[in-house]
Structure formats: C-alpha cells, structure tokens
Structure 1
Amino acid sequence: MKHINVLLAGGASRRFGEPKAFVKWKGHMFYEWAKKALGEQAVIISRPEFIDRFQENGETEVYQDAEPFQGMGPLAGIYTAFEKTDGDLYTILSCDTPLIRRRTMAELRRMVTADTDAVIPISGGREQPLIALYHKRIMPILYEQLSEKKLRISDLLDRISVRYVQAEEIAAVPEEFMNINTRDDYRRLEEFKTFSCWD
C-alpha cells in the first residue's frame, strides 16, 4: 500500500490576518512544523497566490485545488491530493497545527486496517478530521460531494468506514490538536516553548 503525506495549506486565514502557513514560531514556519510531523516528505495543497512562496522555500510538490473545485475547502484539498498523486493511503494534516508530533502521526498510521476508509483521532471530545488518514477509494464519494457543493467533512465521514481513535489510545496529548486560528491562539503558543513537537 503506497502512502502519501499531504499538507493542507490553502486556507484564507481571515481570522488570523495573514497566511498561517508562513507564520513563524520558534524559528520555523507553521507549515514546516507540520511537514516535520509528517516525516519531511509531503505534497502541499495551497492557494494559487502562495505557490511561488512555497517553491522559493524549496518545496517541489505544491498544487492548487483541482478544477473545478478551486477554493472549496479541505475536501477539495484532499480530492486534489488524490488526483495529483499515485497513492493508496493518505495522511492529511492542516498547516495550522504546529504542536502535532511525528509520533502521533505514526501511531495513527498503525491504526489503519484493510477495511478502513479513514482513521480520525478524537481529542477532548472533538473529532479531528484534518489530522487524519484517508484511503483513496473514497475519491468517487468526494467527487460527488464536491460536485453537489456539500463541503462539510462530517457529511463525508457519515458515508465512509471510519475508525475513530481516542487521543489517549495513541499517547497523544490534548495540546497537539490545538488549531492556531487567531492571534490569541498564537499568543497561547508561548505556553509551549519547551514542547517537543518533533519526537
């Protein structure tokens, strides 16, 4: 089974005020923290206006959303990764989760079984569908939903075979699943100066 790492970095970041992928924390950009958690090699799905910036930073596999689904959110990003690459199992990670650890992502991969369409962690009672794994066989369902402009990830999860994993089962801590959406969230990161994201 061929595995592909995918970094979603196409959000408009309206609440934050600037592209979150390139925001620096502890000397590295958010997307670099996320990429490290994936294990270095990753396909990046982003907005057209950010492609050059990623490439200038040395990234070679950067794609914008596939036509005709440009700008249609995370589901479009996942679909684009399926379309642009030749894989079976895809680890998906949003770029605004700089505290996620490599060990956590590796443990999620270990939870995949032959009949699993997706593995989704749950932390603090909340599902984390953008820190997850998906099998490419769901691509026709994704295409159908995007064509009908049904963009909620929950609608997708209702239609596929999902293995939900409590964070405690994989020794993940709640802080890892913190999304940085606002400046207040960013200031909270200062509480985690010694947090080891890359172990």
Structure 2
Amino acid sequence: MEHINVLLAGGASRRFGEPKAFVKWKGQMFYEWAKRALGEHMVIISRPEFIDRFQENGENEVYQDAEPFQGMGPLAGIYTAFKKTDGDLYTVLSCDTPLIQRRTMLELKRLMTVGTDAVVPISDGREQPLIAIYHKRIMPILYDQLSEKRLRISDLLDRISVCYVHAEEIGANPAEFINVNTREDFNCLEEKTDSFRWD
C-alpha cells in the first residue's frame, strides 16, 4: 500500500501570536522537527499566505485546503491530503508537536491492520487524532462531515473503525504528545525534555 506523510500546518496560531510552523526551537523550526518524525518525504497542508515561505525553505509539495472546504480546520487538511495525493495510508502530524519521535510514528503505522480505518494514540487520558494514521477509504465520510460543517475530529472517530493505543504501550514518552498552543507551553518545552530520549 502506498504511504503518504502529511504535515498539518494551517492553523491561525492566534493564541501563540505567530505562525507556529516557523517558530524556532533548538535551532530548528517546529515544522522541521515534525519532518524528522515523519520522514523526509511529506506533503504539507497550510494556509495560502504560508506557501511561499515553505517553498523558499525547499518544500515542494505544499497545498492549501481543497475547495469548498478552505479554512475548515484539521479535517479539511486531512481531506485535502487525500484529494491531492495518490495513497492508501496517511500518517498525519500537526506542526505544533515538536517532541514527537520518529520511532513513535513508525509504531503507530505498524499497528494499522486490515479493516482498521485509523490508529490513534492516547496520552495522559487524551486522544491524539492529529498524531495518527488514517486510511483513505474514510474519504467519503470525511467529505460528508465537512459538507455538513461538522468539524470536530471526535465526530469522525465515532464513525470509523479506530485502533486506540496508549503511549506507554508503544514505548512513547507522554511528553512527546505536548501541543504547543501558547508561549507558556513553549517556555515549558525545555523542562519537558530533561529526561527525554531522542531518536
């Protein structure tokens, strides 16, 4: 089966105050940390105003949300990846999770079985649907949900076959799943990685 890596980098970053994809930490932009976790080849789904910036940094496969779902959040991003690329399995990662490790993403992929629509990790009791694997066969369900403007990912997960896995079961550090939404979150990254095992 054809496998596609997808980086979601289309958020408005209102709470953070600047585009999180390009925020630098330890000498690399957030999106570059995510790229390390995904593997070198990936497609990026972003906002129109960011596309040139990604391309200037050497990224060739950068798309804005497919019409008519522009600006409709992560579900639109996943749908766009399905529409723009010819794959079967899609590893999806949001750009504001710089601590995610390559081995964690590979473990999620390994858990994808025939008949499973998605593999979603759980960390600290919270589902992490933007650090997950999806099968393209859910595309019609995704289209219907977007058409109805039902944009909650939890609604999608309720309609498909999901394999949930706890972070500890795949040897992942719960700190990997931290979303950086605010400056305070960013300032806490250093302390979260004190006992971190990097790839």
In the other structure, the counterpart of 1:19 is 19
Q: Deviations over 1:79-118 (max 9, x none)?
A: 0000000000000000000000000000000000000000
**TM-score under structure 2 length normalisation:** 0.98
Aligned-residue offset at 1:195: 3.7
**Structure 2 Cα separation of the partners of residues 132 and 58 of structure 1:** 25
Deviation at 1:41, TM superposition (A): 1.0
Q: Could you state the TM-score of these two structures normalised by the residue count of structure 1?
A: 0.98
Find the counterpart in structure 1 of residue 134 from structure 2: 134
Written as runs of structure 1 = structure 2, the 5 A alignment for 1:44-55 is: 44-55=44-55
Counterpart in 2 of 1:30?
30
Moved over 3 A (4+): 193-197
C-alpha change, 1:28 and 1:194, in structure 2 (3 Å) is: farther
In structure 1, C-alpha distance between the alignment counterparts of 2:196 and 2:121, rounded to whole Å: 20
Structure 1 residue 15 displacement after superposition: 0.2
Q: What is the CA deviation profile of residues 53-74 of structure 1, one whole-angstrom value per residue up to 9, with x for unaligned ones?
A: 0000000000000000000000
Match of residue 3 from structure 1: 3
Per the alignment, residue 112 of structure 1 pairs with 112
Structure 2: distance between partners of 1:26 and 1:193: 14
Residue of structure 1 equivalent to 2:178: 178
Question: What is the aligned partner in structure 1 of residue 122 from structure 2?
Answer: 122
- Pairs within 5 Å for 1:88-103: 88-103=88-103
Q: CA RMSD in A?
A: 0.9
Identity of aligned residues (%): 82
Q: How many residues align?
A: 198
- Amino acid paired to 2:24: K
Give the Cα–Cα distance (whole angstroms) in 1 for the partners of residues 45 and 197 of structure 2: 26
Question: Offset at 1:193?
Answer: 6.1
Deviation at 1:194, TM superposition (A): 7.0
Unaligned residue ranges in structure 2 (runs of 5+): none
